[in-house]
Structure 1
Amino acid sequence: MPYTRLRLAVFDCDGTLVDSQFSIVGAMTAAFAVHDLPPPDPRPVRRVVGLSLAEAVAVLLPGHDAAFHAAVAESYRDAFFRQRRSGTLHEPLFPGIRECLDALEAEGVLLGVATGKSRRGLDAVLEHHGLAGRFVTLQTSDRGPGKPHPDMLYRALGEAGVPAGGAVMIGDTTFDIQMARSAHVESVGVSWGYHEVAELESAGAARIVDSADELTAAVLDMLRATQE
C-alpha cells in the first residue's frame, strides 16, 4: 500500500545508528583525568549516553557544581575531538543499518536524527559513513533542551512537515522512549544499544527489535497502520 501522506522515521545516533561506546568511555576517562578524578566505571558512562553532555556529566558527578560539570564537559569535547583528529575514533555503523535506511527511503519514508551529540559531532559521523544528505532533519542537543525533553522531536516534526501521528522514534535508551511519549510519537526500542530491553519496555516502547531487518519491518508496519 503506497504512502498517501508524508511519514518520518527519527533515529537516535549513539547506540542506535553507530556503536560509539568505546570512544565515549575513552573520552570521558580522559576528561576525568584532566580534573584529577579517578577513571569512571564504563557502565554508568554508557547509561548516560543520549543525554546532553552537561547533563550526562552531572549524573556521573552529582557531588560537584554546575561550573565543574561544564569544565569536565569541555574536557570531554577536547578529548573526543583529539580522537577524531588522530584517526582513533571508533564509531562503526551497527550491522544492517545502512540497508535499513535504504529500505525506508525506498518506501518514501523521510529520515531524521535526534541525538545528544553536538551538531559538529553528528555531521562528522554522517560524513564518515557517507550518510550526509540522507536526513531531512538533524536535531542535536546544542540547539535546545536535550532528551528526554520533547523539543528535538517537535523541531524534527516541524522541519519535516509531518504530524506526530505520522512519525516513529527509534532509539536504544529510555531517554529516547520518554522523549517520544512526551511528543506523542510512537517509538521502537532497539536491543543492541546501551539500555536494557526491560527498561525500554517499561518506558513505553511500542516495539522492541533485535536486528536492523526487524527494525525496517517494524517501522514500515507502524507507519502503514497510521494510514488505516
Structure 2
Amino acid sequence: MKSYPVFLFDLDGTISESAPGIVKAVQYGLSFVGIHETDPEKLKTFIGPPLNVQMKKLYHMSDEDIVTAVTHFRELYETKGILDCRPYPGLAPFLKEAVDRGHTLAVASSKPEPFVKEIIAHFGFAPYFSVICGSDIGDELKKRGTRDQKARIIRKALSLLEKKGFSPAFLAAHTVMIGDTFYDIEGARENHLPAIGVSYGYGSREELERAGADAIVSSPKELSSLLLS
C-alpha cells in the first residue's frame, strides 16, 4: 500500500474496545421504554453508529421513546460507562511510532466530541492527535442517516486539518481513513478517501469487504506493518 502522511481514525472498535460501557448504558436506556435486550449481537450493533439510528432500525421506536432511551443512556454512560473501555493491545506503540515518523493523526468519531476527547485523554493518547473530532451533543436525537453523519464528521476533521496548515489538495491525496464498520468505509468514500478496515473491531470482515475497503487488517500490529513498513 502507498505511504499516507495523514491517518484518520474511528474511535470505537478501532482505537477503543468500548463494548462494556456502551452495552450496559444501552440496556439501561432501553429498559425505560420497556425493552429488555439481552442479545449480544443486537447490543453490539450500537457500538459506533448514532443511537437513534440503531433504535429506530432494530425496534421501530417512536421519536418520543428514542428521546427517553437516549436520555437515560447518557445518564449512565456519562457517569459510569464512558471510561469502561480500553485501547486495543498493540495500538499505543503503533500510534507513537507513527508520530515519531512524522505522520499526522486525527480522530473522526460518531461519538459526541466531549466523550471522544475524554477517552483519548484517559488512554494518554491526546499528544498523538492533531485533531480530535466527534459529533455534536444531541446528534443522537437528530433524524440523520449514519452514513451521512460519518461523512460529515470526516469532512469536519479534514476542515480542522486545513486550519492546521494542510491544503485540501494535499489531504485529498495523502489521507487514509481507518475504521471497523461499513459506515467508516462509506464515510471515507463520500469524501473521496481510501479506507482501511480493521476486523478486530465490531464490524465483520465480510461487512468491510462489501463496503469496498482498500485493505483489511486483523490487528493493530498488522495495521502498523501495512502503514509503517
TM superposition score normalised by structure 1: 0.85
Shift of residue 146 of structure 1? 6.9
**Does 1:188 pair with 2:196?**
yes
Is 1:68 the counterpart of 2:65? The answer is yes
From 43, 47, 50, the counterpart of 2:48:
50
Instruction: Give me the whole-angstrom Cα distance separating, in 1, the residues matched to 2:41 and 2:81.
Output: 23
Paired residue type of 1:152: I
Q: 1:101 and 2:91 equivalent?
A: no
Greater displacement, 183-192 / 46-55? 46-55
How far did 1:106 drift? 1.5
Aligned residue type for 1:214: E
Residue type of the alignment partner of 1:205: A
| Correspondent of 1:39 among 37, 40, 44 | 37
Kept in 1: contact 2:26–2:73 (CA 8 A): yes
Identical counterparts, % of pairs: 29
Cross-structure match for 2:127: 133
Q: Which runs of 5+ in 1 are unaligned?
A: 222-228
Which range moved further: 186-195 or 155-164? Answer: 155-164
Deviation of the 1:10 alpha carbon? 0.8
- Equivalent position of 2:77 in the other structure: 80
Q: CA RMSD in A?
A: 2.1
Structure 1 residue 36: deviation in Å?
2.5
Q: Mind listing any 5+ residue stretches in structure 2 that lack a counterpart?
A: none
Q: Distance in 2 between matches of 1:163 and 1:50?
A: 24
SS at match of 2:127: coil
Distance in structure 1 (CA, Å) of the matches to 2:182 and 2:192: 15
**Structure-2 residue corresponding to 1:115:** 109
134-143 or 109-118, which deviates more: 134-143
With normalisation by structure 2, the TM-score equals 0.85
Distance 1:17 1:146, change over 3 A: farther
- 1:61 and 1:110 map into 2 onto residues whose CA distance is 40
Name the counterpart of 1:177: 185
Task: Give, in whole Å, the separation in 1 of the partners of 2:84 and 2:224.
Answer: 25
2:221 equivalent in structure 1 = 213
Question: How many residues are aligned here?
Answer: 213
CA pair 84-94 structure 1, distance change in 2 beyond 3 A: same
Q: 2:8 is matched with which residue: 7, 10, 19?
A: 10
2:20 match = 22
Residue 172 of structure 1 deviates from its aligned partner by 0.7
Contact 2:9 2:107 (C-alpha < 8 Å) held by counterparts:
yes
> Per the alignment, in what secondary structure is the counterpart of residue 148 of structure 1?
helix
